């Protein structure tokens, strides 16, 4: 299974729709996505949910095919209606060149977090987490992933490391066969990975 994730801080100045270039929406979103945006009562939220979904699918796809290039319009996203309260989860799918990826988009505490999975292992568990972070986001997201992976697998999180590009997890310098996806934006860091016991 391949997993990708992306997080968007909805309070970050970069996410103001009025500050985007006029042709941004046309360049990034396909016709069906633009129609959904025009009809949405939560255009700002849907805009960034779709964007995070595209980014997460790209990351999952890139693990499968390293030559994949991020051309946002080529990642066609369909999502269930976003939760009316601003918190919760929307589910959906994304297609890219004939392959379909499952999507979950989590909305909570001022952020949008998308997790995409390839469809080759039905029912496999995915471990993910989002949190606010101070200081260096690269270090913070690695600590977040190492702590969560160690706890989930019953390993001492102090001995779990996340290294290299693309990121991989190690325990006491032995590779754990988990493909880790990490992201950060504004105040938030996030990660996701398929969960399997390495022992």
- Give the closest residue to 7 by CA, choosing from 140, 131, 102: 131
pLDDT at 112: 96
What does the pLDDT look like over 58-71, one tens digit per residue?
999 998 999 999 99
Is 112 inside a domain boundary? yes
Please report whether residue 12 resides in a domain: yes
Residue 92 in domain: yes
Over 90: is that where the pLDDT of 55 sits?
Answer: yes
State the average pLDDT over residues 171-193. 92
Give the pLDDT band (50/70/90) at residue 198: very low
Lowest pLDDT segment from 63-72, 110-119, 123-132: 123-132
Q: What is the DSSP letter of 65?
A: -
Residue 28 lies in a domain: yes
Range of the domain at 92: 3-194
Question: Is residue 199 one of the residues assigned to a domain?
Answer: no
**CATH number of the domain residue 142 falls in:** 3.90.470.20
The residue length of the chain stands at 199
- Structural domain total, the chain: 1
Q: Is the dihedral of CA 130, 131, 134, 139 positive or negative?
A: negative
Three-state DSSP at 96 gives strand
Report the C-alpha gap between 68 and 61 in whole angstroms.
Answer: 7
Q: Is the pLDDT of residue 199 over 50?
A: no
């Amino acid at each position: 299974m391949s997993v990708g994730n992306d997080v968007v801080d909805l309070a970050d100045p970069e996410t103001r729709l009025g500050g985007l270039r006029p042709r941004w929406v046309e360049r990034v979103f396909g016709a069906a996505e633009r129609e959904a945006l025009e009809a949405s009562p939560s255009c700002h939220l849907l805009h960034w949910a779709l964007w995070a979904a595209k980014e997460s699918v790209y990351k999952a796809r890139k693990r499968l095919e390293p030559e994949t290039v991020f051309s946002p319009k080529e990642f066609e996203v369909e999502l269930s209606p976003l939760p009316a309260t601003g918190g919760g989860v929307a589910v959906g799918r994304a297609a890219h060149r004939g392959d379909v990826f499952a999507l979950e988009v989590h909305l909570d505490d001022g952020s949008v977090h998308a997790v995409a999975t390839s469809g080759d292992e039905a029912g496999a568990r995915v471990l993910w987490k989002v949190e606010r972070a101070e200081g260096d986001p690269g270090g913070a997201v690695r600590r977040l992933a190492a702590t969560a992976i160690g706890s989930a697998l019953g390993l001492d999180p102090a001995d779990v490391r996340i290294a290299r590009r693309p990121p991989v997890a190690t325990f006491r310098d032995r590779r754990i066969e988990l493909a880790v996806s990490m992201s950060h934006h504004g105040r938030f860091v996030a990660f996701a990975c398929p969960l399997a016991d390495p022992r």
